[in-house]
């Protein structure tokens, strides 16, 4: 009897340790288990020693949603530090092409030269950075520079009605858009990148508004760079992650309570099912929960549910600016991280030799 009682206590203790290690618990006035310590021996009775086979078995990447510019995927079985490394690399270390040098030969618009240059620099460009080198010299060449030109002059529309007050009828070329940027090939670029479609990602980005007699005559040099040098080189509009929510009903919730507890969560998290003529709450998809903790505001409901997050299950959302597809960006981020690890290992080897 004593032996069985001891085993029961030990099993409960191990379950508690497992929860502390693998779950973040959301409570009414705080959040538990937020620290991350995965070195061996930190959790009594829990084996945290590094094991490559176990890591390979538990680690997975599952693509949930993918289209031209957005991607959502799950990365399971890693620590928050690694997840954050991917996020930071996506933001700041995956190279892209962007306008770096702006040569303004004529600007008679009301937009100041500095503001105009800044606007141009932030226009995402459809140019595969993997096909170019980083620019190391002041003079660009076909292997490290893309040249664009903007030459627009506004004039009156001779066919406009005399009674019209609409600028779209009165003037020609008074709205300057990104579609007005023209690629000027350097060297053999016309042949090498004939099918690349080099130019702005979107054609309808407004650059300036002109009036008759005003004009822009600008030449731009685009180079390869990374986001930590300037935000214009960042290939993503957003790159974020969140932990997978976990909603657990501690007992059967019926009737009016079931309806109220359903309303406390995001749509789709809890559904109502019919059992013996009663509506019963059931957790259908915890992933959709925003972790608002609304249910904990109700005294009669807060003890019926347990809110948590799985601390090694990360839901990534990547939104590309259109320069490269999001799945390509994730692949490039992984390559950058691998090169960092390889460089670190090489440094360790050179230190050991010394």
- Does residue 311 share a domain with residue 223? no
- pLDDT single digits (tens) 181-198: 999 999 899 988 888 889
CA distance linking residue 176 with residue 157, whole number of Å: 16
Say if 15 falls within a structural domain: no
Q: Is the dihedral of CA 123, 126, 130, 134 positive or negative?
A: negative
Of the listed ranges 40-44, 138-142, 213-217, the one predicted with least confidence: 40-44
Q: What mean pLDDT value characterizes the chain?
A: 89
- Model confidence at 302: pLDDT above 60: yes
Following CA atoms 308, 309, 311, 315 in sequence, which dihedral angle do they give, to the nearest 10 degrees?
A: 180
- Does residue 335 share a domain with residue 241? yes
Of the listed ranges 255-259, 269-273, 350-354, the one predicted with least confidence: 350-354
Of the listed ranges 29-33, 92-96, 290-294, the one predicted with least confidence: 29-33
Say if 202 falls within a structural domain: yes
> Greater confidence, 243 or 277?
243
CA-based R_g, the chain, Å: 29
- Does residue 101 share a domain with residue 90? no
Within 10 angstroms of residue 216's Cβ, the number of other Cβ atoms is 23
* Structural domain boundaries enclosing 142: 96-233
Say if 14 falls within a structural domain: no
Question: Given 233, 266, 288, which residue is the final one in a domain?
Answer: 233
What are 103's strand-pairing partners?
219
In the predicted model, what is the mean pLDDT of residues 307-328? 94
Within 10 angstroms of residue 84's Cβ, the number of other Cβ atoms is 12
> Greater confidence, 78 or 138?
78
Q: How many CA atoms lie within 13 A of 22 on its CB side?
A: 13
Of the listed ranges 85-94, 158-167, 225-234, 335-344, the one predicted with least confidence: 158-167
- Does residue 151 share a domain with residue 71? no
Q: What proportion of the chain, given as a percentage, has pLDDT over 90?
A: 66
Cα–Cα distances in Å, from 280 out to 19, 135, 223, 251, 277? Answer: 27, 64, 60, 11, 9
- pLDDT single digits (tens) 149-192: 999 999 998 888 888 888 888 899 999 999 999 999 998 999 88
Following CA atoms 27, 31, 37, 43 in sequence, which dihedral angle do they give, to the nearest 10 degrees?
A: -20
pLDDT at 353: 62
pLDDT at 13: 53
Could you tell me the pLDDT band of residue 49, with boundaries at 50, 70 and 90?
confident
Could you tell me the pLDDT band of residue 21, with boundaries at 50, 70 and 90?
confident
pLDDT at 181: 95
Cα–Cα distances in Å, from 21 out to 34, 41, 247, 312, 344? Answer: 10, 12, 17, 10, 29
- Does residue 112 share a domain with residue 71? no
Could you tell me the pLDDT band of residue 10, with boundaries at 50, 70 and 90?
very low
Say if 287 falls within a structural domain: no
**What are the residues whose beta carbons fall under 8 Å from the beta carbon of 88, sequence distance 6 or more?**
none
- Model confidence at 268: pLDDT above 50: yes
* Order of strands, sheet of 96-107, starting from the edge strand that comes earlier in the sequence: 96-107, 215-225, 146-153, 182-183
Say if 334 falls within a structural domain: yes
Tokens of 232: 């214009």
pLDDT at 294: 92
pLDDT at 6: 45
**Residue 247 in 3-state DSSP?**
strand
**What are the residues whose beta carbons fall under 8 Å from the beta carbon of 17, sequence distance 6 or more?**
43, 44, 45, 46
Q: What proportion of the chain, given as a percentage, has pLDDT over 70?
A: 93
pLDDT at 277: 83
**Taking the mean position of all CA atoms in its chain, how far away is CA 77?**
20
Report the first-to-last Cα separation within the chain, whole angstroms.
62
Residue 193 belongs to a domain with what CATH number? 2.170.120.12
- Model confidence at 2: pLDDT above 60: no
Question: Given 233, 264, 292, which residue is the final one in a domain?
Answer: 233
CA distance linking residue 337 with residue 175, whole number of Å: 43
Question: Given 205, 233, 261, which residue is the final one in a domain?
Answer: 233
Say if 239 falls within a structural domain: yes
Say if 133 falls within a structural domain: yes
CA distance linking residue 79 with residue 312, whole number of Å: 6
- Does residue 39 share a domain with residue 107? no
Following CA atoms 199, 203, 204, 209 in sequence, which dihedral angle do they give, to the nearest 10 degrees?
A: 50
- Does residue 146 share a domain with residue 51? no
Cα–Cα distances in Å, from 211 out to 162, 215, 255, 301? Answer: 17, 8, 67, 64
Question: Could you tell me if 295 and 305 are in contact, meaning their C-beta atoms sit under 8 angstroms apart?
Answer: yes
- Model confidence at 55: pLDDT above 60: yes
Say what the pTM is: 0.84
- Does residue 189 share a domain with residue 78? no
User: DSSP assignment, residue 254?
Assistant: B
Question: Could you tell me if 249 and 272 are in contact, meaning their C-beta atoms sit under 8 angstroms apart?
Answer: no
- Does residue 123 share a domain with residue 66? no
- Does residue 185 share a domain with residue 334? no
Say if 278 falls within a structural domain: no
pLDDT at 169: 87
**What are the residues whose beta carbons fall under 8 Å from the beta carbon of 188, sequence distance 6 or more?**
142
> Greater confidence, 139 or 296?
296
- Does residue 180 share a domain with residue 106? yes
CA distance linking residue 338 with residue 89, whole number of Å: 11
- pLDDT single digits (tens) 68-121: 999 999 999 988 889 999 999 999 999 999 999 999 999 999 999 999 999 999
CA distance linking residue 173 with residue 82, whole number of Å: 50
- Does residue 227 share a domain with residue 240? no
Phi-psi domain of 274 (left: phi exceeds 0; alpha: psi -120 through 50; beta: other)? beta
- Model confidence at 47: pLDDT above 80: no
Number of domains forming the structure of the chain: 2
CA distance linking residue 73 with residue 317, whole number of Å: 7
Residue 68 belongs to a domain with what CATH number? 3.30.1360.10
């Amino acid at each position: 009897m004593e032996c069985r009682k001891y085993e029961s206590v030990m099993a409960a203790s191990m379950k508690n340790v497992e929860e502390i290690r693998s779950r973040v618990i959301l409570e009414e006035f705080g959040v538990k288990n937020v620290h991350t310590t995965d070195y061996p021996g930190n959790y009594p009775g829990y084996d945290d020693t590094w094991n490559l086979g176990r890591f390979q078995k538990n680690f997975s990447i599952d693509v949930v949603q993918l289209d031209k510019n957005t991607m959502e995927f799950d990365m399971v079985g890693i620590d928050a530090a690694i997840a954050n490394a991917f996020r930071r690399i996506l933001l700041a270390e995956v190279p892209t092409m962007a306008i770096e040098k702006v040569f303004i030969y004529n600007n008679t618009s009301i937009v100041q030269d500095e503001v105009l240059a800044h606007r141009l620099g932030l226009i995402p460009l459809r140019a595969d950075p993997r096909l170019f080198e980083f620019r190391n010299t002041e003079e660009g060449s076909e292997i490290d520079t893309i040249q664009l030109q903007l030459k627009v002059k506004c004039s009156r529309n001779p066919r406009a009605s005399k009674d019209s007050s609409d600028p779209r009828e009165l003037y020609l070329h008074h709205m300057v858009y990104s579609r007005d940027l023209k690629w000027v090939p350097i060297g053999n670029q016309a042949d090498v990148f004939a099918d690349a479609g080099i130019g702005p990602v979107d054609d309808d980005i407004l650059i300036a508004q002109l009036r008759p007699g005003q004009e822009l005559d600008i030449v731009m040099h685009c180079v390869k760079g990374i986001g930590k040098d300037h935000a214009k080189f960042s290939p993503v509009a957003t790159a974020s992650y969140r932990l997978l929510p976990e909603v657990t009903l501690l007992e059967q919730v019926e009737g009016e309570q079931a309806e109220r507890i359903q309303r406390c969560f995001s749509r789709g998290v809890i559904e109502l099912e019919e059992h013996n003529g009663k509506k019963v709450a059931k957790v259908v998809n915890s992933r959709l929960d925003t972790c608002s903790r609304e249910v904990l505001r109700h005294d009669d409901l807060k003890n019926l549910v347990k809110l948590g997050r799985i601390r090694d299950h990360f839901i990534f959302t990547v939104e590309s600016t259109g320069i490269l597809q999001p799945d390509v960006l994730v692949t490039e981020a992984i390559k950058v991280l691998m090169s960092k690890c390889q460089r670190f290992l090489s440094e360790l080897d050179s230190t050991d030799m010394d």
